[in-house]
Amino acid sequence: MNLLPNLPCMCSSVRRASRALTQLYEQALRPTGLRATQFTILQVLSRAGEVLQGQLGEMLAMDSTTLTRTLEIMIKREWVAERRGEDRRQRWLRLSKAGKSKLHRTLPAWEKVQSQLQRELGETTWKHLFRVADQLTVLATTDHK
Amino acid sequence: MNLLPNLPCMCSSVRRASRALTQLYEQALRPTGLRATQFTILQVLSRAGEVLQGQLGEMLAMDSTTLTRTLEIMIKREWVAERRGEDRRQRWLRLSKAGKSKLHRTLPAWEKVQSQLQRELGETTWKHLFRVADQLTVLATTDHK
DNA sequence: TCCAGATAGATGTATATACATCTATTGCAC
DNA sequence: GTGCAATAGATGTATATACATCTATCTGGA
């Protein structure tokens, strides 16, 4: 019996979907030992190349100081490599060899859960969802601050 | 300069939107001292009346044991009242008088941020977003487990 | 040159979140 | 009635997350 109440608050509703989705994806990724956030960072770095911590934060709509803690774990596990910039306050981040390998070994499990969900949602809703999620991110990050 | 990269992962994309949205709403709610999750729980309890902790978890797609910690804070602040069930393992939860009052004093700030976002997204996208978020929640919670 | 303000991250702290495991209780089979 | 499986939450632990504040560094003007 699934009595999902409609939540009147958009934030609550999206957060609930985010929790549910995170549980689904993390279950699929569990054998690889990657958490959702960690997988996301690997995938973004793999596409973006070397970026500053602050840039990575903007790309993920995540506070740069939050990344300090997450990256600490990922650097310790040697998935991510760092170097100080000429401006020595800055920190440049990139995927290490081990990180690239970790990502590639993780992709099959990710593709499986991702494509199953896509099938269940249908192509139209799927694409729409990407668009509206990104729109939401843009609006919410433009609005405040 | 806003270079929001498209994320290929639905989970990453929704989580990013969720973070952005949470920051927007929490900024609006900051003067009230309520976090997003706490506001959600007040609003749900206000509509659902007395519920078991496990039921609340299902309604929010949130692990019941996660609620133990969040509720501890809210009970300490006396926004939520608890009582043991006839089945003494169970815990019934409801809004206290103070909780109702807290919620009502918070609604104006919530309505402000919520309706501004609604304006910016447009009525059609807004409604669609609610539907697809709920659909996502249903699919993701049905799928696994 | 030197200093005042700005900036990039690091650190302290509070909350959110899930899972594995534990405890207390319940319900059932016998 | 006893004992065992199931269930509801509580607790231990790891990670995610943000904001306030701090530190190191940089930059521009006097």
The mean per-residue pLDDT over the stretch B109-129 comes to 96
Rounded Cα–Cα distance for residues B29 and B111 (Å):
10
Q: What is the CA radius of gyration of chain B?
A: 17
Check A15 against B117: CB less than 8 A apart.
Answer: no
Residue B3's pLDDT band (cuts 50, 70, 90): confident
CATH architecture for residues B32-114: Orthogonal Bundle (1.10)
CATH architecture for residues A31-143: Orthogonal Bundle (1.10)
The mean per-residue pLDDT over the stretch A51-79 comes to 97
DSSP string, B54-107: HHHHHHHT--HHHHHHHHHHHHHTTSEEEEE-SSTT-EEEEE-HHHHHHHHHHH
B11 C-beta neighbours (distance < 10 Å), count: 26
Nearest to A50 by CA among A101, A98, A96: A96
Report the residue of B4, B15, B52 to disrupt the A interface, i.e. the one with the largest count of A CBs within 10 Å: B15
The mean per-residue pLDDT over the stretch B90-113 comes to 97
pLDDT tens digits, one per residue of A69-104: 999 999 999 999 999 999 999 999 999 999 999 999
pLDDT at residue A105 above 90?
A: yes
Residue nearest to nucleotide D20 (CA to C1'): A65
The mean per-residue pLDDT over the stretch B62-91 comes to 96
Q: Where do the domains of chain B lie?
A: 32-114
Strand ranges, E, within chain A: 51-52, 80-84, 91-95
Which nucleotides in chain C lie closer than 7 A to a protein CB?
7-12, 15-21, 24-27
In this structure, what DSSP letter does residue B33 have?
T
pLDDT at residue A7 above 80?
A: yes
Check B132 against A130: CB less than 8 A apart.
Answer: no
Beta-carbon contacts of residue B10 (< 8 Å; ≥ 6 apart): A21, A114, A117, A118, A126, A129, A130
